[in-house]
Structure 1
Amino acid sequence: MLNEQRKENDRLLLSLMPAPVVQRYREGVQTVAQEHQDVAVIFADMVGLDDMSDDLSGDELVAVVNELFRQFDSAAEALGVERIRTFHNGYLASCGATTPRLDNIHRSVDFAIEIQRIIDRFNSRSRHKLRLRVGVNTGKVISGLVGRASLAYDMWGAAVSLAYQMHSGSPQPGIYVTSQVYEAMRDIWKFVPAGTISVGGSEQQIWRLVERQ
């Protein structure tokens, strides 16, 4: 009985945070936080869920969101990307934090493309039409556990803020990247300029992914 309860607790914890963070939490570390260099961050937002709520019951809408996020999780696991958290109609993930990777930008762009395909497949067999906006950035981040009664694993830093700002400020659906990501991936994928965003008082160019080179 105790073993079954431990397995269930482990399953729940692993659904909330990466395995290395679970280990530190089990060890009784009071403040679980870590700074990471050169981490790729992916912020994705599903546009159109609120419109779907007019046609679906609450149970049906939650079932759709759960299934899409389950597919996002499977894609993340296959590509070595880690889900950080979900929120309303959004999904925050990273690559290279708990497991440093030299190709974290490549994996993150591949992940963004795969979740776009997941949305496309959903649309093809549904009368509803969701759209996806994704921001991909790279840089220094801080990750950690917050809360006591209700644990949450989250990530902060300029790289996270910029990824969020890119995707939330883009009026059209698509995959948007910063110049750092563009320079790393320009020989593999085709990008087009997508305007600028204001960062620290200066304008920074962003790019939208179009197709494979």
Structure 2
Amino acid sequence: MKSTILVVDDDKNFRHGLERLLRREGLNVVMAPDGWEAIEMVKQGSVDLALVDVKMPNMNGYQFLELMKSDPDHQHIPVIMISGLDDIDSVIMCLEAGAEDYINKPFNSTLLLTRIRGSLEKKQFHEKERQHLNTIRKEKQHAEELLRVIFPQPIVQELQTGREIKPRGHENVSVLFADVVGFTSFCHSSSPEEVLFNLQELVEAFEGIAVKHGMQKIKTIGDAFMCVGGLWDATNPAISAVECGLDMVERAPQLAAKWQVRVGVHTGPVIAGVVGHLQYLFDIWGDTVNVASRVQESGAPGTVTLSDQMLQHLQGRFNPESRGRIPLKGRGEMELFALKPGAKGLHSLN
């Protein structure tokens, strides 16, 4: 594609003389008699290089140059100043203002064309470099978005700073498991597309509820949804976890599959870190996780089941009903408590 040269000079004969010279070299030419008109032409069309006289009425070449170089959309366009002025101060002033080159009148045509070609080649190189940098920025942004999908924000920040992701111990973390009642039979009686559609709807709903209550999703395991509060910034992770669980229990039957879920919550210390090499996973481990899973398994549909340890952190906010001491696999007996959403708020099970 032909390059377009903008010729800016108040001398009509000089403008047309340059036009003939440039067109013979296969270049497109547009012309303006002063800086103001030239600026408008730059804004309206594609200009690859400007040849600008220093001394002009209305807006002189220096002013045009300053405006061009202060505009982020057009500052990359090279400007070659042409003038009868031959003092070194004018040359320095133009170059400091951002001119690509400076040629005195009368000029040598071969020299002018050589400098125009050199400036256009340099511009093309810079445009390719700018496009490459934009591609890198977009790829970096995409990579960061993928990281945020895989890891919590604090882990992403550590990765971006180049720090090693070290495992950490956290105290008083509330772990929540939510499991779909009758999911296996639903899978046997439904198409793969139907199963995935409904599971996706449920997971998206639960992700939104978790975010609302300041909980961090850890993972889904089949039809089970796992999230935690207190790893980073939850004020009272136990209260957040219970409110989150109650919202999940209430929301699940409202979805297309009309599922019921069991939710179990337990609080205590956990270890958190990143594992894997080919596929990374942020996860948590510890007895607290195992107990939360067992508490969920022992619960009733449509109910949030709490461990006795959870009750100590709720500050009297809820009035759960004791289910007595329930045997938990690998843990022996533990007193559990039950809550479910009511028509006008939270109440104990009757």
TM-score when scaled to structure 1?
0.87
**Partner of residue 200, structure 2:** 66
**Partner of residue 159, structure 1:** 288
Task: Kindly indicate whether the alpha-carbon contact (under 8 Å) linking 1:48 and 1:129 is maintained by their aligned counterparts in 2.
Answer: no
CA distance 1:201–1:53, change in 2 (3 Å)? closer
Shift of residue 200, structure 1, vs aligned partner? 6.9
Superposed, 1:56-205 pairs within 5 Å as 56-99=190-233, 101-122=234-255, 126=256, 128-170=257-299, 172-185=301-314, 187-194=316-323, 195-198=325-328, 202-205=332-335
Task: Kindly indicate whether the alpha-carbon contact (under 8 Å) linking 2:265 and 2:310 is maintained by their aligned counterparts in 1.
Answer: yes
Instruction: Identify the match of residue 35 of structure 1 among 169, 174, 186.
Output: 169
Higher-Rg structure is: 2
Which amino acid in 2 is paired with 1:69? V
Cα-to-partner distance string for 1:5-64 (whole Å, 9 max, x where unaligned): 222222222122210111223344444311111111111111222222234321231122
1:187 partner SS: coil
CA distance 1:165–1:201, change in 2 (3 Å)? closer
Higher RCO, 1 vs 2 (CA within 8 Å, ≥6 residues apart):
1
CA distance 1:188–1:31, change in 2 (3 Å)? closer
Count of residue pairs brought into register by the alignment:
208
TM-score when scaled to structure 2?
0.55
CA distance 1:163–1:4, change in 2 (3 Å)? same
Residue 207 (str. 1) matches residue 340 (str. 2): no
**Partner of residue 136, structure 2:** 2
2:243 partner SS: helix
CA distance 1:173–1:117, change in 2 (3 Å)? closer
Instruction: Identify the match of residue 17 of structure 1 among 151, 161, 164.
Output: 151
Tell me which protein shows more strand as a share of its residues.
1
Task: Kindly indicate whether the alpha-carbon contact (under 8 Å) linking 2:262 and 2:297 is maintained by their aligned counterparts in 1.
Answer: yes
Which amino acid in 2 is paired with 1:132? V
Which amino acid in 1 is paired with 2:309? Q
Task: Kindly indicate whether the alpha-carbon contact (under 8 Å) linking 1:18 and 1:98 is maintained by their aligned counterparts in 2.
Answer: no
Shift of residue 187, structure 1, vs aligned partner? 3.1
CA distance 1:183–1:30, change in 2 (3 Å)? closer
**Percent of aligned pairs with the same residue?**
23
